[in-house]
Structure 1
Amino acid sequence: MLSTLTALICLQLCWSQRINTEKQNLLKPIIWAQPTTRVTKGTPVSIWCQGPQSASEYQLYFRGNILALKRPESRRSRSKVNFFIPQMTLHTAGEYTCFYQSGELQSEPSDPLVLVVTGLYDIPKLQVHPGHEVTLGENVTFFCHLVAGTSKFFLLKEGRSNHVQQRYGNSQAKFPMGPMTRAHRGTYRCFGSYSDYTWSFPSEPVTLLIPGVGNTSFAPTDPTSSLDYRVFDSTAEESGLQEDSVFWDHTTQNLIRIGLACVVLMALVWLLAEDWLNRKKAQEGINESATWEGRRRRWRVQRSLEEEQRDAISLREVKAAPGPGTI
């Protein structure tokens, strides 16, 4: 019974350690910028960090160093906080990540958020050859030129496209593209840059058209707002994160229930096995005792028979012997 209790205690401790390890794997938060990740110099921007309802504090890191701490203002908005940057400058451009605190545990870092400041240099000039009207299957080349000179160029397509091309060059860069498909239609701009975080003013827009293919309206838009890496739907993201949190909670609870059931089942199997072994040992002891007793009885009977035989032989010898005075 002592060994059974020891085994149960070990199983319980191991399972508790596993549950604690699972609880420490907190979901990473979501980070995004409003209105965009490419911000004109001097323009304000907000960085949002969102976690589960259990989050009590959020930490914002900039280029690997902690920048700000913030607690949710109310329980209703407990799942997210806003870090406001009043003016975008060279010193606020870069990579941001955020964490949240839940109890004594800290989450994993969010995916990196890169804020780019634009409007620092001259306006580059964008051209396309052989022309802005192309045919399906044709190849074209964009040329982005900056008189002041730079080290990098970026070509972006306006709208909700995530495609950003990068080329190196002193004053000009080439962006070959093709063969042309319907997906290439649209309005393009380019930027000059000395780093990934500091860009020039955007070029004038250049629109690719494919004659004979239904071209929708490609009215130029503000490139710093429409050329975002992603469009964030706060409601969808929040509900998705809450669903993930609920799913994680249910999964953890189910794992705990399954684990406890396994512990109880193993304990029952252990007790039944130990009881069966004890019964088997007791039965073997009884059988061994019975065997030994049978041997003792046979030995006693055999010994009694031998003694009776010796007594009979002695009696016959006495009778056969001549008495006194016999000649």
Structure 2
Amino acid sequence: MELNEEKIGVSALRDEGASLNIFSVHFSAGSHNKPSLSAWPSHIVPLGQRVELQCDSHINYYTFKLYKEHGNPIPQIQGRPLQKKFALNPVTSAHAGTYRCHGFDSHYPFKILAISDPVEIIISGLYKKPSLSALMGPVVMSGENMTLSCVSALQFDMFHLSREGVPKGHGLPSVLSHNGTFQANFHLDPVVQAGNYRCYGSFRNSSQLWSTPSDSLYLPVI
């Protein structure tokens, strides 16, 4: 049992306004017993669009409950039973945050058996898009490195790179360039993957609210 999971479960129940003495928190040994939580079609969601959160497990839990950690809870989902899936539609900036799924016992509906790993929902489209370019040309030879530069006139604190809609790494801090713009250079090595790349900007005090993505940059590897 991981101590931080128990704290999260208790905190979530407290946020819901429940009386803690009616709940029992019990975690089965082994991470294979955890429910899983996924976001479809992606956990980067454009403002006003739809995302579906799905809890799943090979164990037949009595029910699942979904919790948003920290920040403002979402009344439609916070601690309410759900049948594996819940759609957030349309998303707003309030939906950005970290979510976990709780699995409850089939015989004791107030006993939490396990808590999923977190899923971060990022809302994009809040600010003007940056631009993305390849510094070493539009084609990558197999085995070569590549640097992608994300640039914006806005003073973002961080830039983020994605490939085929999936973030790569944890982002890079923004640096003021000689021409007055702000940028970050992403070094793709040692193996560059072909695909469509985009970048985003964000601010430090709202790290899960991202800009509109840059135009897509396709990198072929030959």
TM > 0.5 fold call: yes
Query: Quick one: percent identity of the two aligned structures?
Result: 29
1:226 maps to which residue?
none
In structure 1, what is the Cα distance between the partners aligned to 2:209 and 2:115?
A: 24
Counterpart pick for 2:85 among 79, 82, 85: 82
Letter paired with 1:114? E
CA shift for structure 1 position 187: 2.4
Please state how far the C-alpha of 1:189 moved relative to its aligned partner: 1.1
Query: Is contact 1:56-1:71 (8 Å) kept?
Result: no
Q: Distance in 2 between matches of 1:185 and 1:46?
A: 28
* SS in structure 2 of the partner of residue 67 of structure 1: coil
Deviations 1:143-163 (A, max 9, x none): 10111221110112227x663
Tell me what 1:151 maps to: 157
Aligned to 2:54: 48
For 1:55 and 1:108, how far apart are their aligned partners in 2? 10
Cα deviation code 1:199-254 (max 9, x no counterpart)? 111111222334xx3xxxxxxxxxxxxxxxxxxxxxxxxxxxxxxxxxxxxxxxxx
Partner of 1:133: 139
Query: In the TM superposition, what are the counterparts of 1:53-132 in structure 2 within 5 Å?
Result: 54-63=60-69, 67-70=78-81, 72=83, 81-102=84-105, 103-104=107-108, 105-132=111-138
- 1:30-81 alpha-carbon deviations (Å, 9 max, x no partner): 1112222111101122211124564223221111578131154xxxxxxxx2
Equivalent residue for 1:166? 171
Return the structure number with greater relative CO, CA threshold 8 A, min gap 6. Answer: 2
- The answer for unaligned runs of 5 or more in structure 2 is 1-25, 176-181
Give TM-score, length-normalised by structure 1.
Answer: 0.49
- CA drift at 1:24: 6.0
State the partner residue of 1:197. 208
Between Structure 1 and Structure 2, which shows a larger proportion of strand residues?
Answer: 2
Q: Give the letter aligned to residue 87 of structure 2.
A: F
Q: What value does the CA root-mean-square deviation take over the aligned residues?
A: 2.6
1:136-285 correspondence runs (5 A): 136-158=142-164, 163-164=168-169, 166-169=171-174, 171-178=182-189, 181=191, 183-194=192-203, 195-210=206-221, 213=222
Q: What are the superposed Cα offsets for residues 248-282 of structure 1, whole Å, 9 maximum, x if unpaired?
A: xxxxxxxxxxxxxxxxxxxxxxxxxxxxxxxxxxx
Distance apart, 1:140 and its partner CA: 3.1
Give the deviation of 1:130 after TM superposition. Answer: 2.5
What letter corresponds to residue 86 of structure 1 in structure 2?
N
CA distance in 1, matches of 2:60, 2:217: 48
Give, as a single letter, the amino acid of the residue that structure 2 aligns with 1:115. I
Partner-residue secondary structure (3-state), 1:107 = strand
Residue number in structure 1 paired with 2:34: 28
* Structure 2 counterpart of 1:189, one-letter code: R
Contact persistence 1:29–1:107 (CA under 8 A): no
Distance 1:49 1:134 in 2: 39
* CA deviation string 1:287-314 (max 9, x = no partner): xxxxxxxxxxxxxxxxxxxxxxxxxxxx
Paired residues, number = 178
- Between structure 1 and structure 2, the one with the greater Rg is 1
Q: Distance in 2 between matches of 1:101 and 1:192?
A: 38
Q: Distance in 2 between matches of 1:137 and 1:101?
A: 49
**Shift of residue 185, structure 1, vs aligned partner:** 2.8
Report the structure, 1 or 2, having the larger helix content: 1
